[in-house]
Structure 1
Amino acid sequence: MEFQLNTIGYLLIMLSLIHIIFPKYFNWKEELNHLSLINKQVMQIHTFFIALTVLLMGILCVTSATEIITTPFGKKISFGLGLFWFCRLLIQFFGYSSKLWKGKIFETIVHIVFSTLWIYLSYTFFKITLN
């Protein structure tokens, strides 16, 4: 299970770093100009804090896998992380419109890959909680 948490940790660190390309990939310079200043800044700042949170989750998994698996407090943290990623899985299907990916090869692949990742994260953290 430590291997699983280390793997998850490195995946989460990579996921957090992917957020660096969001502004360019999603053309935020042009797209966000249509928003009010508050909405533009909320989008940018929340994206930063999501990336930071995911980075810290990754670092926690890499540096504290044994404690997460073997201690009561670690199991509580694992439950919280499982709940977090399960909610993210639900948002993947009920928060985002399927119009964003259906009929588009790259977007469909991304949807499947990330749905699979959210399932893997949820399952692994909940499994740790129950062991």
Structure 2
Amino acid sequence: METTIILCGIYNLLFGVFHLFFWKFFGWKKELKNVSKVNSGIMQILNIQIIIFFFIVGFICLKYSQEILQTKLGFAFLVGNFIFWLARTVNQFIFLKINDIRVHFLTVIFILGMILFLIPIVNAI
């Protein structure tokens, strides 16, 4: 099970790195000029915050994998992250109703995140 927690950590670190490139991938320097300064600021702040969150979750998984598996707090951490990836997957269908292979690929990747965090939850029950 410790290997699964380590995979959860790597998964989140990779998403943190992925989000670091959002400005370039999505042309935010140009694109965000088309929305209000408030919305542009909110988008960028939320992205920075999610980068920090992914790095923190990744670090916790890599550094404290045993504690995650052996404590009630660790179990709650796993459930919280499972809910995060579940909500992200559901939101994909609500807000990105785009028939694009990249969107479908990301949906599969989000489901993978759900599964990674679900495996140790199921084993603990």
Pairwise same-fold verdict (TM > 0.5): yes
**Cα deviations by residue, 1:41-80 (Å, 9 ceiling, x for unpaired):** 1111111001111111111111111111111111111111
- Deviates most, 7-16 or 79-88: 7-16
How far did 1:3 drift?
0.7
SS of aligned partner of 1:98: coil
1:15-34 alignment runs, 5 A limit: 15-34=15-34
TM-score using structure 1 length = 0.84
Find out whether 1:76 has 2:76 as its counterpart: yes
Instruction: Look up the equivalent residue of 2:37 and give its one-letter code.
Output: L
Instruction: Look up the equivalent residue of 1:53 and give its one-letter code.
Output: F
Instruction: Look up the equivalent residue of 2:107 and give its one-letter code.
Output: S
Q: Which of the residues 91, 105, 108 maps onto 1:116?
A: 108
Contact persistence 1:68–1:75 (CA under 8 A): yes
In the alignment, what sits opposite 1:57? 57
In the alignment, what sits opposite 2:121? 129
How far did 1:82 drift?
0.7
Unaligned runs of 5+ in 1: 102-107
Contact persistence 2:9–2:60 (CA under 8 A): yes
Alpha-carbon distance in structure 1 between the residues aligned to 2:10 and 2:20 = 16
Instruction: Look up the equivalent residue of 1:67 and give its one-letter code.
Output: E
Change over 3 Å in CA distance of 1:38–1:21 after alignment to 2: same
Find out whether 1:37 has 2:37 as its counterpart: yes
Contact persistence 1:82–1:126 (CA under 8 A): yes
Q: What percentage of aligned pairs have identical amino acids?
A: 25
TM-score using structure 2 length = 0.88
| Aligned residue-pair number | 123
CA RMSD of aligned residues (A): 1.6
Unaligned runs of 5+ in 2: none
